[in-house]
Amino acid sequence: MDQAKFSDGVMHTKDRGSTHLSQETVKKLIHQSQEAKQHSYCPYSKFRVGAALLTPDNCVFTGCNVENACYNLGVCAERNAISKAVSEGYRSFKAIAIASDMNDQFISPCGGCRQFIREFGSNCDVYLSKPDGSYLKMKVDELLPVSFGPEELSLKKVFDIPNDTEPVL
Ligand code: THU
């Protein structure tokens, strides 16, 4: 990873430690997602998406969608932002703002991104925005009800795969 470029994507906001986001913080986070959208690499879909993710200590990690000639390798903006944050040591998030170019519709995170956000907790607020800065605030549980998460993996099962099960070589 290009360290210089990466640190550009990390910003500190004023209201350190607060749980409720001020209008100013929400506005700023949405603005940062719009800025991230400008880096979108989307020659195939021509659909730009940006995301800005707020950590508990008020750092912001941004991401954009990055497509590929091998279409299925494309990565969404939200997943890029989350992966950047996780690879820098963060595992819980206060909020994520998402931006696109759609005039009349709030950008809605795809199913995979909903699951990706949910992995790191259901308390993250998700701000679906329009280019004019208006937004819809949603909880992860609203976007992905009755979700499957890491907790399920350790629940009691009727059958346990033995620990000495060997992989096929
Ligand atoms: N896209 C995102 O980046 N996030 C979403 O939640 C929805 C879709 C991207 C993926 C692809 O590059 C383009 O938008 C069109 O689907």
Q: What's the pTM?
A: 0.88
- Per-residue confidence (pLDDT) for residue 169, from 0 to 100: 82
Q: Where are the domains of the chain?
A: 4-154
Ligand 1: nearest atom to the Cα of 77: 3
DSSP H helices, the chain, are 3-8, 23-37, 77-86, 111-119, 140-143, 150-153
**Rounded alpha-carbon distances, angstroms, from residue 102 to 28, 89, 128, 130, 139:** 19, 33, 11, 7, 22
Nearest CA to ligand 1 atom 2: 76
pLDDT tens over the chain, length 169 residues: 222 233 344 433 333 333 589 999 999 999 999 999 999 999 999 999 999 999 999 999 999 999 999 999 999 999 999 999 999 999 999 999 999 999 999 999 999 999 999 999 999 999 999 999 999 999 999 999 999 999 999 999 999 999 999 988 8
CATH 3.90.850.10 fits 4-154, yes or no: no
Within a 10 A sphere around the Cβ of 49, how many other Cβ atoms? 26
Catalytic residue among 24, 35, 78, 119: 78
Count of alpha carbons within 13 Å of 95, Cβ hemisphere only?
26
Which residue of 47, 48, 105, 138 sits with most ligand 1 atoms within 8 Å of its CB, as the best mutation to test the pocket?
47
Ligand 1: nearest atom to the Cα of 44: 12
- Per-residue confidence (pLDDT) for residue 13, from 0 to 100: 37
Ligand 1: nearest atom to the Cα of 65: 3
Cβ(94)–Cβ(53) below 8 Å: no
- Secondary structure of 13-61 as H, E, C letters: CCCCCCCCCCHHHHHHHHHHHHHHHCCCECCCCCCCEEEEEECCCCEEE
- Per-residue confidence (pLDDT) for residue 168, from 0 to 100: 87
Question: Which DSSP state fits 79?
Answer: H
Protein residues with CB under 6 Å of any ligand 1 atom? 42, 45, 47, 49, 65, 67, 74, 76-78, 109-110, 113
Cβ(54)–Cβ(60) below 8 Å: yes
By residue count, the chain amounts to 169
Which residue of 40, 48, 49 sits with most ligand 1 atoms within 8 Å of its CB, as the best mutation to test the pocket?
49
**Rounded alpha-carbon distances, angstroms, from residue 89 to 54, 114, 144, 151:** 13, 21, 25, 20
| Residue 78 annotated as catalytic | yes
